[in-house]
Structure 1
Amino acid sequence: MSGIVVMYEVEQPDLTVRRVHAAPAAPGTTSVPGPRTLCGKDTFAMQTAPAPPSTDPGAPWYPPQQADLRCPACDDAV
């Protein structure tokens, strides 16, 4: 895997973040998500998080302020 891209599953029309997912980066990139999250959801209708996940050892892949919104299946897969 070339990296993780943090994706937001959002409520329409107000774009409230409903769930935070992890997607593998598309081949040859570090910031473009592949077609599916690690839990198998389609990334097409999701938004890419504004900041990439931390590369510091032990740091979470998701934004810490959104810990309660992380997808448990993506979290297990990471």
Structure 2
Amino acid sequence: MGTIVVVYEIDKPVGPRTRPGGAPGEARTVRRVHAAPTAPGTPTATGPRTLCGKDTFAMETDCQKPSEHPEALWYPAQYASAVCRDCDAVMTT
């Protein structure tokens, strides 16, 4: 498997900031955590689809790259309840 990055499906603003790296005053909630390959030939850009097939266009990329730390969880532990089951199934095989 190539380089994989964590991407977040984000809800619209509703309250206090609840995701890492957000701007002060920004109110977004992580709805689902996905894994996505990087774009071919561009390791700093997310590919067009997650491992479960969702479009990454409106998703936010985390700085975490699971492929760099194969012994650790591929997603941030605080979002364990929001992990996409399909992406997790691909990542754990």
Tell me the TM-score normalised to structure 1 length: 0.85
Q: Tell me the C-alpha RMSD between the 2 structures.
A: 1.7
Decide whether aligned partners of structure 1 residues 57 and 36 sit closer, same or farther in structure 2, where only a CA change above 3 A counts: closer
Q: Deviations over 1:12-55 (max 9, x none)?
A: 13321011000111112333111110011100011111433362
**Where does the alignment leave 5 or more consecutive residues of structure 2 unmatched?**
14-26
Q: What is the count of residue pairs matched by the alignment?
A: 78
Amino acid at match of 1:21: H
Q: Does 1:57 align with 2:46?
A: no
1:1-78 matched pairs, under 5 angstroms:
1-13=1-13, 14-53=27-66, 55-78=68-91
Whole-angstrom distance in 1 between the partners of 2:53 and 2:70: 26
Aligned-pair identity (%): 59
Tell me the TM-score normalised to structure 2 length: 0.73
> For the pair shown, which has the larger CA radius of gyration, 1 or 2?
2
**Where does the alignment leave 5 or more consecutive residues of structure 1 unmatched?**
none
Amino acid at match of 1:20: V
